[in-house]
Structures are given as C-alpha cells and as structure tokens.
Structure 1
Amino acid sequence: MTTQNTPYTSPSEIKQIHANLVKGFKSGITRPLSYRRHQLLQLARLVQENIPALEDAVLADLGKQRQECTLAELGPIVQACLYAAENLEEWAKPKKPQVEEFRKTWDVTIYSVPKGVVLIISPWNFPYILTLGPLVGAIAAGCPTVLKPSESTPTCSAFMAALIAKYLDPAAYTVVLGAVEESTILLELQWNHIFFTGGTSIGRKIAAAAGKNLTPLTLELGGMNPAIIDTDCDLELAAKRLLFGQIQNAGQLCVAPDYVLIPRSIATPFKDAVKKAYEGFFPSDPLHPESNWSKIVNAAHFNRLENLLARTRGEIMLGGKVDENLRIAPTVVTDVKLDDPLMEEEIFGPILPIIEVENTEEAVQIVGDRPSPLVVYVFTDSEDLKQKFLDRTNSGTLVLNDTFMQLSVYEMPFGGHGDSGYGAYLGKRSFDTFTHERSYINIPAAMEPFFGYRYLPYTDESYKVMTAQAFAEIPEA
C-alpha cells in the first residue's frame, strides 16, 4: 500500500495533467461506449480486488470498522459500476422527443454527449464512495476526470492515486494529491464541470471560483438534518434506527440526524428507548482501548466537538467522554433549546441533541423556518404528517421511519436543496450530471413554401401566419 508520505502533486504537474486530459478528450478516446464500459468494469475490479487493503487504509485514517467501510463505501461502488455498465447503451441512446406535427420531418434529436474534462473534489469522511462514486458517472458520460481527494485521509488518498494509475487509463483519469494550495491551482483551470462534496463554507468558495469560468457545478453540502418523532410510532424501533444513523462513521457524515424534535408527551419513554438502544449497541464502554469505535478525523475537528460539549446548556444523558486518541463517545444531550450552541451549525460528530416541542405541528414550523437541510427524517405512520412535511418544508430528501438508507436507493437522485447544495447524482443521475444534452435538427428543403412568410418584406399576411401562436385561444381556468 502507498504510504502517507506520498508527495503532493506539484503545480507544474497539475497543469500538465490538465493539458493532457484536454488533449485526450479532444482526440475522442473516451467517447466510444465500449471504452467507457471497460473503464467502468476496471473501476469495479479496482475496488473488488483490493478490499482488505482499502479497509486497512480507512482504518488507519479514520479508525472505521471493516463492515462499515465495505457496506457503506466499497460495495456501493462495485454495484454502481455494474449498474452503469449494464445500462450505458440505453442511457446514451439518442432521444426523439414528441414535436408538433409541422416539425415532424425535421429529425429532431437529443444527443447525450460528454461535457468534457471534469474535476471531482471529495471530502475525508467517506473517502472512497464520495470520490469514486461520482467518478462512475463521469466515466459513463465519457468525461476525462481529475480526482482531488482529501488531504485529511492521506493513506486512503495516496492508495486511490496508486490504484487509479494501475487500473484505469492514465490518459483520461488521474488523481491530484494535495491540500489548499493544490486545490486553488486546480480551481484556476478551465473545467467543463466541477463536482464538490463538502462543507457549506468551502462550497461557497468553490462556487465563486467556478463562476469566474462559467463552469457548471454540482455542490453536495450538508446542513442541520432534523429527525421528528411522532406520537404514533414505535419508539423503540425509532430510537434504534435513529441512533444507528447518527453513529455511522462517528457521526461524521452529511446525512446524519443532527437533532431530534419530539412532543413532550412522549419525551420520557423515547429517552428510555434511546438508552435501551445505546446499551444494545455498546454493551461495554465505546472508548475502551480494545473498542473499534471510530475516531474524529483530526485534532481541529475533535477540539471543535469537545468545545460544543463544554458550551451546551443541555444535559448529557449518555456518553460525553473523550480520550487522547481523538475519540468521542456517542453522546445524547437532552433539554436542548433552539438557541443552544449545539444548534449553531452542522455537528458532524457523534452528538445528538433532543429538543422537546408541544406537538408535531410545532416541529413542522421549526423545520420550515430553518435553512433547507440535506435530509429530513420523520418517524410516523401518519399520511397527514408526511404531507405537511412535503408541503411546508424543503430538503434534499424526505425519509420516513429510518435513517441513512436513502443512500442505497440509486434509482432516485441524491442531492441537496438551497443551503444544502444543488445538483444530484446516483444511478442514471450520475450519468446525467456529466452529460450535455445536445439538440439537433435538420430542416428539409420541403419546408420552404411555409418559410416564405418569414422573409422580408413583411406583409399583413406574413404577420398573421408567423405570429399565430401568440394569438392562440386561452381556456378558462
């Protein structure tokens, strides 16, 4: 395995890489569907043939357990590659839209063509799926790609760089290693699409840089994801599923539930249910030296989370302990108010505040008044409450009666809304993200008798014929 000491990519190398990929794209190497399918299957082999080593790398960087790594990251990449390879021909097929009768001889066609050379900038919390997942769409679309993984997971990033060079065509796909300086150099170059996953503050900088070159952009950000507990749900099941979603990767994921809104009338039994689920997940101390509990990625993030626990005015019901290995025990905080420090921004750690409200109507109002999150979780069997959240709140996704599992549904788009980002991917949406729909028509000479009215000099008759659409009858509402 490549070590953490792998050097960063130099500025001159970055510019040469970009120039080479542009040259490769213009030569047409990535356009044949057979080429794309081969690269997709190679990416699947890259993952499948190196699972233990990939698990070792993420264990070194994040302390993530093997099952979590392969379940949430490696398995979905393999499946995404196979799904794209199987459906590529259908996705790329030219489309013939329905047109008005008089245009049916124009051979109206929409071609799905690659946008060009693209840049994927990924974060550290799920280093494989958030780097190689978007790459599946770029390969399927026929786009040469530069991957810029996070410097905060150096073992994973260096290993991916070595594997990409070994398994994929280096004339079309490569990895740039580095931090802020290298990312800045990359963003100064001209790309045909940028795909960024990360925090909102950096996302704004990415958007500003992309705007200078009018570069199309996908932003997969985060936000404060609420979880709402209704009075009609199975509290023990809700507590177990909620806690499961919150503790994945020690809470360091963009779809983790950030806070719970629960009616006061069921707050006590719900807290008891959370305690029961916690004891089931952690029969012994999660910070025990032999525990497999994941660590916080670095000291800066650890100190931020530790500071939040010190500042909260709520009561720590479970957890709250930390250790010298950058680990924070899964922590549940009760009696939290909306103005508590825990509610200032996305927590991105294993801390779950519980906020008591009068009823679910108040919960709907709170969610609707706050910035749009990546996901809203609602535990209920009420169709009426579901409809209220659909009608009166916004989010990238609405999930009922579970957490985290929306990421496994590749048949629907995954993405943010408003403050949580824009653009989407997974399944065919990944192909669509990196594809330009190029319109085409071929006007036959037989149309010329009609077109005679469009030429100068204009007459009363030509006006009547050529402007008829503007005077179409409008029906009553």
Structure 2
Amino acid sequence: MSLKYTTVDDIPQIHQDLRRAFRTGKTKSIAFRKQQLLNLCYLVEDNWERIKDAFFADLGRPREEAQLLELNGTLGELKEAYDNVEKWAAPEKAPFSWLWFAMSPTIRNESKGVVLLISPFNYPLYLLLCPLAGAIASGNAVLMKPSELSPAMAALLTELVPRYLDPELYQVVNGGIPETTKILELPFDHILYTGGGRVARVVLAAAARHLTPVTLELGGKSPCVIDPKCDVKTAAKRIMWGKLVNAGQLCLSPDYVLVPEWFQETFVEALKNAYYELHPIDPKVSGQVTRMVNESHAARVKALIDNTKGTIVFGGEVDMETKYAAPTLIKDVRGDDSLMSEELFAPFLPVVPVKDVDEAIEFINERDHPLNIYVFTNNSAFKEKVFSNTRSGTAAANDTILHVMAYGMPFGGVGGSGTGCTTGKYIFDTFTHKRCTTDSPGWLDPALMAARYTPYNKSAFRLLNALLKPTLPPRDGSMPLATKLSYGAVIALAGLAATWLACTGKLDLRLPLRFLNRL
C-alpha cells in the first residue's frame, strides 16, 4: 500500500472543517465519545494482522514483538479510555470548605477544541492511537499527522480512520516537511508532538505564535545503574532484551550501562551470555531484530559505532544495503565517546565504567534529564539513593520498558526528555480544560459577604476578614493547640450562622464578634 501525501493547499480547509465540526457540539455527548472509543478499539481488533504486516513492511519488525509490546498495549489503553470516559468527564466537586461550600464550587471537564497529534515512526500505532483515545474521551476534534517514515502504517491508518471514526471530527494528514510546516502555521487548541528535540524546537516556535499549549514526548539517553550485588543474570537478560526491542528504536530503550569499574568485566560477560541466550541464531538470519527505519538513520548509527573509542565485545556491523544494524556490546566507553553524543536509537549498548554509585549519579546529572532511569539492585537503600538524587521522566527498578504499560500510572518526560503526560487519565487531563465554576446564592450577602460592599461596616468587615485571612503559625512551624481550636471555633460559628440564616433569613453578628474580641 503506497502512501499518498495530502495536498498542502488542502490542509487549511481540513483544519477549518474540523473547527466547524467541533463547534456543532457533537463531541459534548458522552455517549458519542464512548461509541467512537469503542469503534477505535475495533479498528485495532479487526485489523490485527494487517497492522502486523504494516510493522513488518516499515521496519522488518518481528510479528511476535509487535503483538506483545504494541498491539496489546495500544488496545489496553483504548479500552481503558472506553471504560472510564464517563467518570473522567464528570464534573468534580471542590473539597469541602465552610467558607465556600455555599457557592457550589465545581470543576467542569471541558474539551479544548481542535488538537494536533504528530507521531513518530518507531511506535506508530501506540503513539498515535493512545493520545487519540485521550483526545476523543475529552471531547476534542483531532488532526493526526503520522510519521512519513512509517509509510505502510500511515497508509493503513489513513484508510481505516474514516471507516471507524466520524470523518468530520477526526482527520489524518500525511506528508513530510512542507505539509508539516503548513499544519504548524495553523492555530490549534493543543499540540502533542512525539519525536526528537530538534523538531520539538520547531514545534514549540510555531505553537508560540498562537499561544498554543504543547505536550512533548522526546526520549533521551536512559541509563542503567548497576549494583554489583544485584541478580546479575536477570539484570543482564532484562537489559539486553530492552535494548534490542525494536532494534533500540524506542524512547525508553536502555541507552547505556553505568557499572563499577572493578565489576565491568563480570557484567559484560553476563550481558554477552544474555545476548546469546536470547539469540542462539544470528538475528540477521533469523529476522528477530528490527532494521533501521531508513538509509539516513542507518548512516547515522554507522558513524556512531565507527567512531567509538570503546572496545567492541561483539557486533559492530551496519549493513547499509539492508539497513541492518547488528546488536552490539561496547565496553570501556567514556563520557566523551561518540556513543554518548546523542540518543542512540540503535541496538548498541555502551558500558561506562565508573568508580561507584556516587560517580554514576554525577554522570547522569551532568547530562539532560533522561526519559527513564533504570536501577538494578536488591537493596532498597541503593535504589532510593539513585531515585532521590537524579531526575527523569520515570524510573524503574529491576526491569526495562514494561513500566510504560502499568495501569493508572503517568508517563512523560522532564526537561530535555519532554513535558506533560501521555497515558490513561493523564492524557485525558492533557486535552481537557479544567473550568472552575461557582454559583453564589443571594442569601450569602446578608449572611456574610455583604461586608465586602462600601460603605464598609466595621464589625461585619472584621468578621469576614477574620474568616478569609489565614493566620500563620510561629516561625518555627509549630501551632499551639489553642490556636487550632480557635480556628475550628471560628469556622464552626460561620457554618452555624450560615445555616441559621438559611432557615430564618436573619443573622445576629454579635455572638461571633464577641468571640473574635477574645482572640
């Protein structure tokens, strides 16, 4: 299936049609959203094998891997949105307060409008349809821009989306730089971009012209910190598996390993054994490792491995004709090595020797905040030390990759690895405007709020001010019991006064004022 690019001149009209369709109010219906989400689930379910075929056509991706990590994960996210859209979209009552309850403070979860999703090539289904589910659940119209680097998947989604979803509200636009540039000239109510930092800067600059909020999922160099007392065999196997998933073309891929220098040879041997256990047959022959997405990426990773000053333990081959990069383990890698210059996005695993865990932490903190930090240890203090003294989008101990699918958990970067969250309820909130509403009954004025009007009544104003202005604790942070009781008494009196007024239409302020005079 060939991918046909959208005509640049048609893009503004598509955008205008989406805005017009959103203004009809069709997406306000929870029943409508729920049906669209169910249709989206069946888009995946009905086309399970065709989707696997597209993965293989674009990346040579093993069908088993595609099903395990992308199809199952995608369908799980879509089903979660379907199951929870009514709860997520329901108005939220503010926490109870004696001062404000009468105004019925409520948060309305409202749609932002027309949102733009720009997805990458490496997980072209998961990283487009999961945010799409959040956007549908929150009642938005959506313009989708799949990666042109995964043309088979983009063509398949272009065919399927209008068959399963309302074409007035959900549109796919295909293209490269000219088409994306035209899209970014248009005003959106939110943009979600998944990809690299260079393009993210372009997206942010374009969004700034319209003051459009942006969520970024960017990746980065995610390190593995090794405690020599960990379960070495299990750690090595899980790291090697995580490294080779999708040939390392994954934002959560373990990018490099930090290990005490004296322990490097032991751990390298464990990694080597793990690789041969996972791949008893050369993966170039067995087809169990994905290829690089295109010639440009193959040339990039070839330059990285050709220029390393580390010692290649196994691998090192990049076949430009087939775009196959061999799984490669490299030891004795230093911080200024070519392999440490950028996110690898390749099946290369550098091992960086350090003095100890403190130096490992320092090494991580000298660089951009990664999307994830992996720690392998059986010691809770070791894990806590690494987690507490570093920053990353997420953090995982004793495994790789799988935590992104943990139910109910946020996923997103920090700093150079991104901003905002892109899963479950958190992506729903990303595409939702939390609108504060109140409704003040007329009886509040004679009860309490009349003190705000001029000319000021000193007695009434003093009571209102006592209720509104917080009293600070002593500078050492303590608060005497008597003060706590006084606060409680004032609030209780205010509540009783409001309740009494609601019943009788009158209010005597003398009792509260006599109490305040004693404070």
> Is the Cα contact below 8 Å between 2:449 and 2:464 reproduced in 1?
no
1:65-464 matched pairs, under 5 angstroms: 65-288=62-285, 291-323=287-319, 324-449=321-446, 450-458=448-456, 464=462
Partner of 1:53: 50
Secondary structure of the structure 2 residue equivalent to 1:414: coil
Gaps of 5+ in 1: none
Q: Which amino acid aligns with 2:90?
A: K
Report which stretch shifted further, 139-148 or 69-78.
69-78
SS of the residue corresponding to residue 102 of structure 1 reads: coil
- 1:461 Cα deviation after fit: 5.0
Q: Deviations over 1:97-153 (max 9, x none)?
A: 124213211111111111111000000011111111111101111111011000111
Q: Choose 384-393 or 322-331, whichever is displaced more.
A: 384-393
CA offset digits 1:218-253 (Å, max 9, x no partner) = 100011110011011111111100000001111011
Shift of 1:201: 1.2
Q: Distance in 2 between matches of 1:387 and 1:369?
A: 19
Shift of residue 459 of structure 1?
6.4
What amino acid is aligned across from residue 474 of structure 1 in structure 2? P
RMSD between superposed Cα atoms in Å: 1.5
Alpha-carbon distance between aligned partners in 1 of 2:353 and 2:302, rounded to the nearest angstrom: 24
Deviates more, 1:76-85 or 1:163-172: 76-85
Q: 1:334 to 1:27 in 2, by over 3 A?
A: same
C-alpha deviations, 1:401-431, integer Å up to 9, x for none?
0101111113100000111010002121121
Larger Rg: 2
Identity percentage over the alignment?
42
Paired residues of 2:91 and 2:106 also in contact (CA < 8 A): yes
1:467: how far off? 4.1
Matches of 1:96 and 1:120 in 2, distance apart?
A: 31
Give the secondary-structure state (helix, strand or coil) at the position aligned to 1:316.
strand
Misfit runs of 4+, over 3 Å: 457-471
* Structure 1 counterpart SS, 2:108: strand
On the 8 A contact 2:231/2:378 being kept in 1, the answer is no
Paired with 1:415 and 1:334, the residues of 2 have a C-alpha distance of 30
**What amino acid sits opposite 2:256 in the alignment?**
Y
Distance (Å, rounded) in 2 between the aligned partners of 1:272 and 1:393 = 28
Matched, 1:472 2:468: no
Checking the alignment, whether the CA contact within 8 Å between 1:410 and 1:426 is kept in structure 2 is: no
Q: Is contact 1:114–1:142 with CA below 8 Å preserved after alignment? A: yes
CA distance in 1, matches of 2:44, 2:377: 38
Question: Aligned letter for 1:302?
Answer: A
Mean Cα deviation higher: 466-475 or 62-71: 466-475
Q: CA deviation at 1:463?
A: 5.8
Between the aligned partners of 1:455 and 1:119, the Cα distance in structure 2 is 47
Give the count of matched residue pairs: 473
Alignment partners' CA distance in 1, 2:229 and 2:151: 46
Q: Distance in 2 between matches of 1:137 and 1:230?
A: 38
CA distance in 2, matches of 1:259, 1:219: 23
Amino acid at match of 1:77: T
Q: Which amino acid aligns with 2:450?
A: G
- Mapped partners of 1:353, 1:238: distance in 2: 15
Residue in 2 that maps onto 1:24: 21
Alignment partners' CA distance in 1, 2:126 and 2:15: 23
Q: Distance in 1 between matches of 2:69 and 2:83?
A: 22
CA distance in 1, matches of 2:89, 2:52: 34
Gaps of 5+ in 2: 478-519
Other structure's SS at 1:101 match = coil
CA distance in 1, matches of 2:5, 2:192: 21
Residues in 2 aligned to 1:459 and 1:211: alpha-carbon distance in whole angstroms = 48
User: 1:471/1:140 Cα in 2 relative to 1: closer, same or farther (>3 Å)?
Assistant: closer
- Asked whether the 8 Å contact 1:106–1:441 carries over to 2, the reply is yes
Q: Is the 8 A contact 1:245 1:256 kept in 2?
A: yes
Where 1:355 maps in the other structure, the secondary structure is strand
- The match for 2:8 among 7, 11, 28 is 11
- Deviations 1:286-312, CA, capped at 9 Å, x for gaps: 223x53431100111110100011110
Task: Provide closer, same or farther for how the CA distance between residues 331 and 473 of structure 1 changes in structure 2, counting only shifts above 3 A.
Answer: closer
